[in-house]
Amino acid sequence: MHMSDALLSPAVGGSFWAGSFGLITYCANRLKDRVDDRIVPLMGVLGAFVFSAQMINFTIPGTGSSGHISGAMLLAILLGPYAGFIVISSVLIIQCLFFGDGGLLALGCNIWNLGLYPCFVAYPLVYRPIAGTGASSRRIMIASVLGVVVGLELGAFSVVVQTVLSGRSELPFKAFVAAMLPIHLAIGLVEGLVTAGIINYVRKAMPGFLEGRSLSDMRGTMKGVVIAFAVMALLTGGVLSWFASTHPDGLEWSVERVYGERELPVDGGVITRWFRDIQEALTILPDYDIPADSGGQADTVEGYPSPDVGTSLSGVVGALMVGIVILFIGMGIRHRRLKG
Amino acid sequence: MTSFDKAYFNLGYIDTLSYGDSFVHRLDPRVKLIVTIVFIVSVVSFPKYEILRLIPFFLFPVFMMTAGNIPSGFVLKRMLFVSPFVIMTGIFNPILDSKTFHLVSGLTISAGWVSFFSIMLRFLLTVSSALLLIATTSFYGVCHALNSLGLPRAFVIQMVFLYRYTFVLAGEAMRMVRGVTIRSSNRGMGMGTFVNLLGVLFLRTMKRSEAIYQAMCSRGFDGEVRLLRSLRIRLNDLAFAIISITLFIIFRWFDIPGYIGGLVIR
Amino acid sequence: MSHHIVEFKDVCFSYPDGTEALRGVSFRITHGEAVGIIGANGAGKSTLLFHMNGCLMPSSGTVLIGEFELNKKTRADIRKRVGLVFQNPDDQLFMPTVYEDVAFGPLNLGLSEDVVRARVEEALATVGCYRLKDRPPHHLSMGQRRAVSIAAVIAMQPDILVMDEPSADLDPRSRRQLISLLKGFTHTKIIASHDLDLIMDTCTRCIVLSDGRITADGSAEEILMDEGLLVENGLELPLSLKYRCMQQEGAFHD
Ligand SMILES: Nc1ncnc2c1ncn2[C@@H]1O[C@H](COP(=O)(O)OP(=O)(O)O)[C@@H](O)[C@H]1O
Ligand SMILES: [Mg+2]
């Protein structure tokens, strides 16, 4: 499930952008001390392979509906987590640009949800321990299904958290989670089976390819995971506290549901104050302004809906006129182009 | 036509559009990328009940589309496929949010509908601007832009290869999918067939990868792909960036519709 | 100029799956020669060519390029001298635009940017593709892709030009253009093909390969007119010769 710009606030989108592209840079640098230069074309070509595979629909047994794969776990198994993460990130970038899946700002979230969890959580912590040396196709089957399901569920949960943090949708946290997780369980089962099928095919047709692992340096994977988790924890903490200080609507009630109380435990902490200071220094977006004495959260909620949301009649008339002007500008440019 | 064909032709169509020639196409990809990101951030930074002040922002996609000579049918059709996820997540707002706004005295509107429409407007603005970015900038332009904006070369080169070989591999995949669908008399492809097809495609992919590697080595590849510096910022790029970003700031900061409406009504 | 010499001494090669693709191949090609390597599909032509710049290393026997024996150490240098044009241009054109693709090799030689640009433009002009320089490879026709992949190799200014099936998938017009292009090169040329007309038009010497062995080596004219020899090796007379024979027979009967 792709996160979308329309549901995101800039702070959430920006934080995950920073996290995801930071991780891409980290992975790319790690690949510098690779063992085999073959990985340079291989990554691109396998990306093209997964991207082509995603375009193929197949029938899901017993349902009559059709599905397609996401391929993140497949890439992690074929290329190792670092290269796999880089490749799935590029696939997501292309999907975003060409198919409008998500959006540019949501890209950070999508790379995080659909790339990081499969490659850096599900692969090293679920797939590898279960698949073991990769000698038994039954173990590969179980490992793939469980790995894909874990990766997808984490991703789905993360979509919910991002949506709720952004506060654009009214969906209550628990109901949202309750809707998302079962859907992804089903998707994960199917994708897990397909992944296992392909891995077992590769094992038979190219013996040694997966076992040799000469292409993807696995050393330090656990270190990578620890770093990823640390980044994740920091980001989540940072985003939460940012919101606690700047954006009481939206988060207000969702936090209430998550924590059972109105205020976040981290509120007032160092991070919060830090973010608040930065934010005060760089207030570009007036709507994010917080009252000078920052005790004003409750006021904002009470004062809601605020009078400046532009629902007055003059605003409606003005918006209509602006819309018409834009239409004319567009038609004017097109007309000139056609004549010229 | 199978869904695969549709996706593939779509890709090819955008690819063709992106090599067009127009004022917008000729702009530096870095500038377009940055302006688009500023645009999206400005749009999504409005609070959740904002509708009217989003309207002026349509100027940007409309300009990119018309000045970039992109058929409006293409963009509109894309917008019709509103992401089901966005609808699903937004549609509960009217049900769950029972607050109301006073429009004029006596006329009220449900806050939930307002925030739902706000989400839809955001969707239109952000997705159309991303699509128009790629329809007016070759993907390789985007890659160059990302490279010169600081993303690691290894990542960017890999994207270049990915895009290049998508056209080769997707072509092969298309022939295989057609073969299967013809034989299965349009009942769709089962999972077993799908896995086998991907297995065969994978083996071809590996062969291809090895051949490319050999071809690279034959031309002196030593692990690093070098690029010529090719991007240059010109006056047009600067003007475009300054004007657009200034407009976004004005649209974001001032209530343009309210101001114009106030003038008219008074 | 001794460094333009290619010499194979009893070269054998087996693929990892056990296929014996070369079984003791020996020959010597000297400076300025234009040599055609012909043989049916699977005869081992491509395998042979891949040994000329170290894409494959012989299982036994030696390959000499100039005064150097091919091994892992000399391979990088040998690759600067031997330009190999692959059979499938899609494998060779991986960069975003024609210009950048042709620049790939020269940039790896460590040349300055100005020299690289000059070489790229010259190479593209030579193959008549300068106006395609900003196109992405996937927008080119097969003939154009072939021409550009040749440009990409000649931009490195190799001493020896090696080509694998250069006329495969070409329409007649692009094929004619290719032939006149090849005739223009004064390099040592080695061309593997089963398009015998192409070999006849561009080569002076011919090596016949069958099942990993050399079955004939001599002047192109003699070998290409020897129908018995060709048929024995799974080949046919070049079409142009066949046509000439038919005409002669026709004239005889009349
Ligand atoms: N990568 C490979 N692995 C195993 N066998 C191969 C491989 N490439 C080619 N062969 C085999 O080696 C022999 C020679 O192939 P090749 O040199 O491609 O012939 P040609 O170019 O003359 O058509 C053939 O029998 C072919 O099947
Ligand atoms: Mg061959």
Please determine, for residue A242, whether its predicted confidence score (pLDDT) is greater than 60: no
Task: State if residue C21 touches ligand 1 by the CB under 6 angstroms criterion.
Answer: yes
The residue of chain C with its CA nearest to that of B210 is C91
Which pLDDT belongs to residue A295?
36
How distant is the Cα of A78 from the closest Cα of chain B, in angstroms?
11
Q: What is the pLDDT of residue A290?
A: 33
Q: What is the pLDDT of residues A323-335, one digit of tens each?
A: 888 888 888 888 8
Residue A222 falls inside a structural domain: no
Measured between beta carbons, the chain C residues lying within 8 angstroms of B11 are: none
Q: What is the pLDDT of residue B58?
A: 95
Residue with the bigger pLDDT between A212 and B31: it is B31
* Chain C: closest CA distance from residue B127 (Å): 26
Asked whether residue C1 carries a pLDDT value surpassing 70, the answer given is no
CB contact under 8 A, A6 and B10: no
- Produce one character per residue of C190-206: b if its CB has 16 or more CB atoms within 10 Å, e if not: bbbbbbbbbbbbbbebb
- Which residues 49-68 of chain A have a CB within 8 Å of chain B? 49, 51-53, 55-61, 66
State the distance from the centre of ligand 1 to the C-alpha of B216, rounded, in angstroms. Answer: 20
DSSP for B118-152, please give it: HHHHHHHHHHHHHHHHHHHS-HHHHHHHHHHTT--
Q: Percentage of chain A with pLDDT > 90?
A: 23
pLDDT of A207 higher than 90: no
**Predicted confidence (pLDDT) at residue A271 exceeds the cutoff of 80:** no
Q: For residue range A208-222, list pLDDT tens digits in order.
A: 777 655 344 444 455
Residue nearest to atom 27 of ligand 1 (CA): C42
C94·B19 Cβ contact <8 A: no
Closest chain B residue to the Cα of C76, Cα to Cα: B220
Helix then strand then coil, in percent of chain C rounded to 5, is 45, 25, 35
> Is the residue at A223 inside a domain?
no
If you ran DSSP here, which 8-state letter would residue C132 be given? G
| Window from B16-25, B143-152, B184-193 with minimum mean pLDDT | B184-193
Do residues A303 and B49 make contact, with C-beta atoms less than 8 angstroms apart? no
CB pairs under 8 A between B and C: 85
Distances in Å between the Cα of B229 and the Cα atoms of B21, C57, C133 are: 22, 36, 15
| pLDDT score of A218 | 47
What are the extents of the domains in chain C? 2-90+160-253
- For an interface test with C, the pick among B169, B219, B228, B231 (most C C-beta atoms closer than 10 Å) comes out as B219
For residue A326, what pLDDT is reported? 85
Pairwise pLDDT comparison (A37 vs A134), residue with the higher score: A37
- Structure tokens belonging to residue B21: 């020639």
Which chains pack against A, by 3+ Cβ pairs within 8 A?
Answer: B
Q: Is pLDDT above 50 for A303?
A: no
> Per residue in A220-239, pLDDT tens?
455 555 666 666 656 655 55
Q: What is the ipTM of this complex?
A: 0.91
Establish whether residue C212 lines the binding site of ligand 1, counting it when its CB lies within 6 angstroms of any ligand atom: no
Report how many domains make up chain A.
1
Question: How far apart are alpha carbons A124 and A118 in whole angstroms?
Answer: 9
Average pLDDT on A162-189 reads 84
Is pLDDT above 70 for A248? no
Residue C195 CA, ligand 1 centroid: distance in Å: 18
Please state the atom number of ligand 1 nearest to the C-alpha of residue C44: 17
Report which of residues B106 and B87 the model is more confident about: B87
Q: Is C210 in the pocket of ligand 1 (CB under 6 A)?
A: no
Which residues have CB under 8 Å from C176's CB, separation 6+? none
Higher pLDDT residue, C177 or C244? Answer: C177
Q: Do the Cβ atoms of A210 and A199 come closer than 8 Å? A: yes
Could you give the CA distance from residue B35 to residue A101 in angstroms, rounded to a whole number?
A: 20
Q: Is B219 an interface residue toward C (CB < 8 Å)?
A: yes
Ligand 1 lined by C41 (C-beta under 6 Å): yes
Judged on CB neighbours under 10 Å (0-12, 13-18, 19+), B87 is middle
Find the C48 Cα to ligand 1 centroid distance in Å: 10
Please tell me the residue having the least CA distance from ligand 1 atom 2: C15
**pLDDT level of residue A309 (50, 70, 90 thresholds):** very low
Is the C-beta atom of C39 inside 6 A of ligand 1? yes
What is the phi/psi pair of residue C202, to 5°? -115, -15
pLDDT band for position A277 (50/70/90)? low
- Among B161, B196, B197, B263, most A C-beta atoms within 10 A, so best to mutate, is B161
pLDDT of residue A70: 87
- Of residues B247 and C172, more confidence is placed in B247
Q: What is the pLDDT of residue B262?
A: 83
User: Which of chain B's residues have a Cβ under 8 Å away from the Cβ of C79?
Assistant: 217-220
Predicted confidence (pLDDT) per residue in A8-57, tens digit: 888 889 989 998 999 999 888 888 776 678 888 999 999 999 998 888 87
Band of residue A103 on the pLDDT scale cut at 50, 70, 90: confident
> Residue B190 is nearest to which of A59, A206, A286, comparing CB atoms?
A59
Q: Indicate which CATH number applies to the domain containing A208.
A: 1.10.1760.20
Chain B nearest CA to A291, separation (Å): 16
pLDDT at B132: 94
Across chain C, what does the average pLDDT equal?
89
Give CA–CA dist C180/C174, Å, rounded: 10
Taking residues C167-180, what's their average pLDDT?
Answer: 86
**Ligand lying closest to the C-alpha of residue B206:** 1
Indicate whether residue C233 lines ligand 1 (CB < 6 A): no
Residue A70 has a CB neighbour count (10 Å cut-off) of 27
| B108 pLDDT higher than 50 | yes
Chain B (71-110) residues lying within 8 Å, Cβ to Cβ, of chain A: 78, 81, 83, 85-86, 89-90, 92-93, 95-97, 99, 101-104, 109
Q: What is the mean pLDDT of residues C49-61?
A: 93
Report every protein residue that has its C-beta within 5 angstroms of ion ligand 2.
C 46
- Predicted confidence at residue A237, as pLDDT, reads 56
What pLDDT is attached to residue A230? 62
Ligand 1 atom closest to residue C164's alpha carbon, by position in its atom list: 21
Measured distance CA(A170)–CA(A149) in Å, rounded: 27
Task: Confirm whether A227 is domain-assigned.
Answer: no
Residue of B nearest to A286 (CA): B253
Output the pTM of the full model: 0.84
pLDDT > 50? residue A286: no
Give contacts of C121 with chain B, Cβ < 8 Å: none
| Confidence label for C122 from pLDDT (cuts 50, 70 and 90) | very high
Percent of chain C with pLDDT over 90: 64
- Given this structure, which CATH class describes domain C2-90+160-253? alpha beta
Rounded CA separation B36/B135 (Å): 13
CA-based torsion, B105, B110, B113, B114: positive or negative: positive
Give the pLDDT mean for B173-185.
Answer: 79
Residues in chain C: 254
Query: Pick the residue with more confidence: A268 or A177?
Result: A177
**Rounded mean pLDDT, C94-117:** 93
CB contact under 8 A, A37 and B170: no
* The pLDDT value given to residue A223: 58
Tell me, in angstroms, the distance from the centre of ligand 1 to residue A60's CA.
39
Q: Is the CB of C67 under 6 A from ligand 1?
A: no
C96 with B160: Cβ contact below 8 A? yes
Q: How confident is residue A240, by pLDDT bands cut at 50, 70 and 90?
A: low
Q: CA-CA distance, B96 to A244, in Å (whole number)?
A: 22
Which residues of chain A from 170 to 199 reach within 8 Å of chain B, CB to CB? 170-172, 176, 190, 193-194, 197-198
More confident position, A255 or B243: B243
- Confidence bin at C131 (pLDDT 50/70/90): very high
- When pLDDT is averaged across residues B41-47 and rounded to a whole number, the result is 91
Does some domain include residue A307? no
CB neighbourhood size of A335 (10 A): 11
Q: Given a cut of 90, is residue B39 above it in pLDDT?
A: yes
Domain that holds residue A131: 5-212+237-292+313-339
Ligand nearest to the CA of C39: 1
The response to whether residue C44 sits with its C-beta less than 6 Å from ligand 1 reads yes
- Model confidence at C28: pLDDT above 50: yes
Nearest-neighbour CA in chain B from C155: distance (Å): 10
CB atoms within 10 A of CB B99: 13
pLDDT recorded at residue A310: 40
Residue A337 pLDDT > 90: no
Question: Quick one: pLDDT at residue B238?
Answer: 95
Flag whether pLDDT at C67 surpasses 80.
Answer: yes
Rounded CA gap, C207 and C191, in Å? 10
Nearest chain B Cα to C101, which residue? B227
Asked if residue A140 belongs to a domain, the reply is yes
More confident residue, C163 or C241: C163
The tens digit of pLDDT for each residue in C145-156 reads: 999 999 999 999
In a domain, A107, yes or no: yes
User: Which positions in chain C touch B230 (Cβ < 8 Å)?
Assistant: 100
- pLDDT at position A238, please? 56
Q: What share of chain B is helix, strand, coil (3-state, %, to 5)?
A: 75, 5, 25
